[in-house]
C-alpha cells in the first residue's frame, strides 16, 4: 500500500518544522500507523537530531550520487512503526539537485509502502522546496505567531500557488504567461494574486474552468508553533482567514503548540524523545493536530486552553 504524503514547510527557518514533523510522526506511529519521515532539507538536515539518531549509513547523498534506491536508505528508529530517511547532503544543496534527479526522488517517495510519509522541508522558497511541497497529498505550513514569520508564510504560499499555476499553464502552451502578467501588473491593473488569477481565467473559458478546479482543490493546513498567549493562538484564526480571502484557497487552522521549555532542553541536552512529548498539554496539542489532519478538520474554539 502506498503511503499518503504530508509535506511540512512554511518558508521561514526557525519555526520548528523539524520538531513538528518528528512529533507528528511519533504520534502517528503510536496510533499503529506505519510512518516514514524524510528530511527534505538538502544541505541543512537536522531531523535526525530530534530523533536522537546518529548519522545513518546512507543518506539522500547516496540516493543522488550513488543511485542507491530510496527503499535501501530508509532506516529503522527505536520507535515502533517509525522509519527515517536522512537528508544529510554534504556534496549537494537544494539548488544542486537536477530536475531529473528531483523527479526520480518523487517517484521513489510515492512508492514507499506504509501509511504515511512526512517530509520535513528546508527554509526558503526555492523551486525544489516548493515542488516537493506540491508533491504532497497534504501541505502543512508552520508559522510562529509573529509578524515576520506570518509575512514569510504569506510569501511562501504565494510562491507555491504561483508555481502551481505556472506549471499548469505550461501544459497548455502558455508557459510564462503568469510571470509575464505579474511583471506587467501595473499596465494590466493586477494588484495582487486574486487579480492575477482572474487575469489567467480570462484567457479562455476552458482555462477558467481548469483554474477554478485547481484553486478549489488547493488545500493548506496551518500550524502555529511556540504560542505563549491566547492572542497568539487566535493569530492562527486570523492568519487562516487572510489566506482564505487573499488567495481564495481552502486553508484550515489545524492546531497549535504552546511554548515548551522541554523543547530547548531536548535539543541542547540528552533528554529522551519520549520526554519531549510527555507533558499532558503537548501530547494533547499534537493529538489535536494529527486528528485534524487525518479527518481534514480544523481546530475549534473548544479545543483551546486559555491556561
Q: How confident is the model at residue 270 (pLDDT cuts 50, 70, 90)?
A: very low
Q: Which of 40-44, 109-113, 226-230 has the lowest mean pLDDT?
A: 40-44
* pLDDT at residue 275, rounded to an integer: 52
The answer, yes or no, to whether residue 14 has pLDDT greater than 90, is: no
| Fold (CATH) for 4-148+220-303 | Rossmann fold (3.40.50)
| Residue 241: all three cell numbers together | 482567514
Q: Tell me, what's the pLDDT at 146?
A: 92
Least confident of 45-59, 108-122, 190-204, 215-229: 45-59
pLDDT tens for 231-261 read: 999 999 999 999 998 888 999 999 999 887 6
What pLDDT does residue 279 have?
46
- Please state, in angstroms and rounded to a whole number, the distance separating the CA atoms of residues 269 and 231: 31
pLDDT at 207: 84
What are the φ and ψ backbone dihedral angles of 234, each rounded to 5 degrees? Answer: -70, -20
pLDDT of residue 254: 96
What is the pLDDT confidence band of residue 213, given thresholds at 50, 70 and 90?
Answer: confident
The number of beta carbons lying within 10 Å of the beta carbon of residue 44 is 16
Name which residue leads in pLDDT, 273 or 13. Answer: 13
Torsion of CA 10, 15, 21, 27, to 10 degrees: -120
Q: Taking all residues of the chain, what is their mean pLDDT, rounded to a whole number?
A: 84
pLDDT digits (tens, 9 = 90+) for 30-47: 899 999 999 887 666 667
* Angle subtended at Cα 57 by Cα 56 and Cα 62, rounded to the nearest 5 degrees: 110
H or E, element range at 37: strand 35-40
Domain residue spans of the chain: 4-148+220-303
Amino acid at each position: 500500500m502506498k503511503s499518503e504524503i504530508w509535506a511540512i514547510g512554511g518558508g521561514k527557518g526557525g519555526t520548528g518544522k523539524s520538531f513538528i514533523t518528528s512529533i507528528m510522526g511519533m504520534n502517528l506511529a503510536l496510533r499503529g500507523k506505519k510512518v516514514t519521515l524524510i528530511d527534505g532539507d538538502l544541505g541543512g538536515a537536522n531531523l535526525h537530531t530530534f530523533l536522537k539518531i546518529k548519522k545513518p549509513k546512507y543518506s539522500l547523498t547516496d540516493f543522488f550520487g550513488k543511485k542507491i534506491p530510496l527503499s535501501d536508505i530508509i532506516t529503522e528508529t527505536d520507535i515502533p512503526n517509525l522509519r527515517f530517511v536522512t537528508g544529510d547532503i554534504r556534496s549537494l544543496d537544494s539548488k544542486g539537485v537536477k530536475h531529473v534527479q528531483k523527479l526520480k526522488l518523487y517517484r521513489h517517495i510515492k512508492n514507499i509502502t506504509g501509511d504515511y510519509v512526512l517530509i520535513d522541508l528546508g527554509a526558503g522558497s526555492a523551486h525544489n522546496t516548493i515542488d516537493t511541497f506540491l508533491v504532497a497529498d497534504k501541505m502543512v505550513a508552520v508559522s510562529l505567531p509573529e509578524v515576520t514569520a506570518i509575512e514569510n508564510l504569506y510569501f511562501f504560499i504565494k510562491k507555491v500557488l504561483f508555481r502551481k499555476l505556472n506549471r499548469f499553464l505550461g501544459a497548455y502552451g502558455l508557459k510564462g504567461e503568469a510571470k509575464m502578467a505579474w511583471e506587467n501588473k501595473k499596465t494590466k491593473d493586477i494588484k495582487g494574486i486574486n487579480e492575477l488569477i482572474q487575469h489567467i481565467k480570462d484567457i479562455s473559458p476552458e482555462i477558467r474552468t481548469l483554474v477554478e478546479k485547481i484553486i478549489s482543490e488547493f488545500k493548506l493546513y496551518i500550524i502555529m508553533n511556540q504560542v505563549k498567549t491566547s492572542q497568539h493562538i487566535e493569530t492562527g484564526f486570523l492568519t487562516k482567514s487572510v489566506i482564505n480571502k487573499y488567495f481564495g484557497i481552502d486553508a484550515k487552522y489545524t492546531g497549535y503548540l504552546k511554548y515548551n521549555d522541554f523543547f530547548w532542553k531536548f535539543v541542547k541536552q540528552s533528554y529522551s524523545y519520549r520526554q519531549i512529548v510527555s507533558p499532558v498539554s503537548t501530547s494533547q496539542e499534537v493529538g489535536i493536530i494529527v486528528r485534524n489532519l487525518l479527518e481534514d478538520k480544523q481546530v475549534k474554539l473548544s479545543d483551546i486552553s486559555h491556561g
